[in-house]
Structure 1
Amino acid sequence: MRTKLALAITGVATLFAVTACGSTGSTEPSAAPSLDPANPVVVKVGASPVPHSQILEFIDENLAKDAGIDLEIQEIDDYQTPNIALADGTIDANYFQTEAYLAQQVADKGYEFEHGQGVHLEPLTIFSKKFDKPEDVADGSLVLLNNDPVNQLRGLRVLESAGLLSGLTDDDSALTLDGDDTKNPKKLTFNEVNSEQVPKFYAEDDNIGLAVINGNYIVQAKLNLDEVLAQESSQDNPNSNFLTWRAGEETPAIAKLDELLHSEEVAAFIKKTWTDGSVIPAS
């Protein structure tokens, strides 16, 4: 079952402590045999609508019942609410984030979470309505980027791989590249917005030369794939998405869900559903 979850960010965050902590990736979980298909355990999972909720819905409709779990899928459109909801106990787990993003959230907000192995990857993609290939990009072109520091740097790396930036370090951002002719030889200018807003601004603003867009929002916005200029490589990519839960609370039901997320059936579903490569199983 899928529902929408929208929490007020202000105020909710005060419900949990903000003590600094570490983030530890779990090993492959082994679900306890106590789960009973005749009496399934409800697992509340917060997830981005695409592709995460779709993957969870496939599990709920095809695999969960026999495994003794019942998924209550709560769709969340932004990247802040899922971790707030997990920390305050509104949900049991979430499925939407990468290792780098979670590490930044832990450092900033003190979450005490654990997570499973990567399930799928959504390659960041550069779109352009003005240019057909990277070498055509005009000097001074406006680039629309995610304002989240982790995904922004990831987006800048895609621009670098396309030959539009050079010599980036992990400390770089849209701000550091302003006026740096060595790293930004084309004198690109940058506009930063929330990740979910990038496709909307790209579609509506003709001044935008390039837009770096998260894979899940590409699918939601039904963007024209003929406008793809470059895409993040999937080879040895560390930015896969995984299931996350509160530290010390990996229940048999959560462990079973993580096991199902890594099943051959789910990998086959991902390959069949997103044939354009916007979503691929983690290797």
Structure 2
Amino acid sequence: MSQYGQTIKSIRESRGISQATLCKGIMSRSNLSRFEHQLYIPSFDKVVNLLERLNVTVDEFMYIDRHFLPSRYEYFYRKLIRAENYKNKEELSITAKQIAEYKQESTEFYELFLLSQLSLLESNLPAELTMTDISEYMRPKLFELENWLFYDFRRLNNFIQIFQLDEALFLYDRAITEFSKYEAFSKENNISIHLSLNVGQLLLAHHQPEKAVIYFKKAKQYARQQNKLFQELVSDLFIEKIISRNKEQNTKDSLTVLMEELIRQGYKTTVDSLISYIEEK
């Protein structure tokens, strides 16, 4: 059980809480002492009760137990997404190769391997798998879901482009409805934003800009609700891109003025990344 007992002890002592105070009504003091010395494994509900008394979430506890490091999966997932977002093909190839070394470790890691392969294909880089290989594995996984968990929303968001447009719209509607039960979940929950952005891009790829605007506006709404400025700007840029195709603009729009101001404030790399991302879609 890792060093969970020792981590509990470390947090308890940092809060100045005695063993007697922490364990009252949860377990005996002797069992808490044995747990802190890795000699006893309490039931999960008792551990949760201890954490609640310490005002520590399970996610934070796991993070502390890993010495304030992300899990290996989260580390590589973030590294992959960062390489994609900044269009760094060299970093993308390196990260995909690293992920491949762990693909047999778990189902979660194998799906991360599939995602890395999808990223390589979309960037026109050499890959071990084809789009068909990825689709044959992931499509049934997502279509057969009955009870959606947080991880499943991320899975759909990552692989939504492998579906036909009508399938993607169907899964989007279902996911947004199911995701409502996670609105108060403390874990990062940008899923509704990214799903809306991705569906909008699918509609653009299928030459349906008017419908795409609907989903980009949804993404902007979700981003504003969650104070996610970067995603709000991405949504606005997509909308502006579509509008500018349909009419001549002789004056600078407010979004262009904002971009110029961000550059003046020292955010040129962010602005370049935003514009590059939009122009490639």
Greater RCO structure (CA 8 Å; 6+ sep): 1
TM value normalised by structure 1: 0.23
Kindly name which structure, 1 or 2, has the bigger radius of gyration based on alpha carbons. 2
Which is richer in helix?
2
Which is richer in strand?
1
